[in-house]
Amino acid sequence: MADVFISYSRHDREFVTALDAQLAERSLDVWVDWEDIPPTAKWREEIRDAVSAADAVVFVLTPRSLTSHECGIELDLAFEQNKRVITLMREEPGAASVPERIAALNWIPATPDRDLSAVVETLLEAMRTDLDWVRLHTRLLVRSNEWESRGRDRSYLLGGTDLRAAEAALASAGGKEPQPTDLQREYVAAGRRAAERRQRQLLGGVSVALVVAIGLAIFALVQRNDAIHQKKQALSRELAANAALTEPIDPELSLLLAIRAARTTPTAEAASALRRALVLFPLRATLRPTAYAEHVAFAADGRHAVTVGRTTELWDVTTMRHTLTVHGTVAEHPPAAFTPDVRQVVIGTPAGVANVYDAVSGRKIRPIPAHDGAVDAIAISKDGARVALAGANGMTIAPLTGAGPVVHVASPLRGASSLAFSPDGRTVAAGTDSGGFGVWSAADGARLLQYHAPANRSIRVEFAAGGRLVAADTENGPFTIWDVSARRRVVTAPTASADL
């Protein structure tokens, strides 16, 4: 699109050439007929397209341009499309008749005795008035003309953010120039009708999806083939369908249903419902890592967080500002943990090493060798002195400062996913994705407890009573509490009543 279209008489070519050069020096895109109309082009069609695509039309007023048939056609097109027309008076009109629409405008004197640079600056000032609106008016004009020329094909209509921006601009255009054309208003209104039609079709499709999801759930219950897995999938899809159905009615309920669907089991429907619900739900803010994040960990102060994946980024949660990017931490499902004073962050790798970083500068302080294979879980003692690293091939308990004894425990549990120090730092508990958990001495790695649930389900662990008791919560299974010193189970419940 051009910034300006110049309408002039060929007798004034010398002045327009100088004007074109001045505008080009100021990085404006100028449309003039000597360089833009191919010899074989249909002249009127080319002029209409050029006027539509320009933000402003500059009319060089002289007695010759006032009597020019071509200039008259160009001005008619400009006024027909409500373009911003700016008149440069190169010569007094004399006996030539001035059209009423030109006479009603403020003219910028551009007579030979005027300094051309000053004239151009005055012209630019006029063009910059309501510039955002002028440019939007131009874009809407080009797109509405294209829509009209294509037989009002709905595929050319606005949608989404473009439609909302156009509606807001038209609503606030009351006292602005140029005014919207009737075609522009029809174009935006047609876009809104099409968007509402799509929404109604979407709601109908969601209703069908809900029926299908319920049918799948009933079929899974009856057939009992791969009962647990299929039941979870059907429930997740049903919740996702309900989340989609309640989107326009109750965004908060839609979000809760989508979260429950995702927690039940990961499905494409749950992920889609969760993405839509997060967009609609009025969240205070959202962390947006620059690359895909596998894991997020919060500091004890609740103010700082780290997202880990293809890149590692530190955040101030209260302001939702990204404060730092730590490079060289790429891993699949990488664990991370802050020290209690939030000065350092420990991030696991798939190579059996955890790296310690300065949480302020992002500087890598040192690596902590662990064991063969990936580091699956990280825990830091309450005093910040020691760190525990666990994976499928073992567990390592090491000092964070680099000085002190290192304890290795060979293959304590397979697939460690939960790790915790007791408050006094003397013991370490680990839970796995396969239904097992155990407790070890942090001083020498001696095993104090070990337990395996009847089913291969994820177990989370947490200490209580100053480290005397440890709780083990099995996903969709029993919740148990153990006395570490007595090495026995003291509480068993069918399922946990709340999160650990």
CB 347 within 8 A of CB 362: no
Look up the CATH superfamily of 4-129.
Toll/interleukin-1 receptor homology (TIR) domain (3.40.50.10140)
Give the model's confidence band at 21: pLDDT under 50 very low, under 70 low, under 90 confident, else very high. very high
Domain parsing of the chain, residue ranges: 4-129
* Rounded-to-5 percentages of helix, strand, coil across the chain: 40, 25, 35
Neighbours of 327 (CB within 10 A): 9
**Does the pLDDT at position 135 exceed 70?**
no
pLDDT tens readout for residues 356-365: 988 888 888 8
Mean pLDDT of 414-431: 87
Q: In this structure, how many other beta carbons lie within 10 angstroms of the beta carbon of residue 496?
A: 18
Task: Answer whether residue 36 shows pLDDT above 50.
Answer: no
Q: What is the pLDDT of residues 329-344, one digit of tens each?
A: 555 567 889 999 988 9
Lowest mean pLDDT among 151-165, 300-314, 479-493: 151-165
Alpha-helical runs (H) found in 87-172: 100-103, 116-128, 131-149, 160-171
Whether the predicted pLDDT of 427 surpasses 90: yes
Residue 319 DSSP symbol: T
High-pLDDT (> 70) share of the chain, %: 86
> pLDDT-based confidence at 327, cuts 50/70/90?
low
In the predicted model, is pLDDT for residue 62 greater than 90? Answer: yes
Regarding predicted confidence, which is higher, 248 or 469? Answer: 469
pLDDT at 289: 77
Q: Is residue 216 over pLDDT 50?
A: yes
The predicted structure's pLDDT at residue 175 = 55
Query: 321 pairs with which residues across the strands?
Result: 316
- Cis before 178 (ω within 30): yes
Q: How many CB atoms lie within 10 A of CB 415?
A: 17
pLDDT confidence band for 422 (50 / 70 / 90): very high
Alpha carbon distance 477, 433 (integer Å): 13
Say yes or no to pLDDT of 428 above 90.
yes
Q: How far is CA 164 from the centre of its chain?
A: 18
pLDDT of residue 281: 67
Give the per-residue pLDDT at 303. 83
Whether residue 370 is predicted with pLDDT greater than 90 in this model: the reply is: no
What are the distances in angstroms from CA 404 to CA 347, 383, 407?
Answer: 20, 15, 10
Is 498 a residue whose pLDDT tops 50? no
Q: For residue 4, which of 107, 24, 112, 81 has the smallest C-alpha distance? A: 24
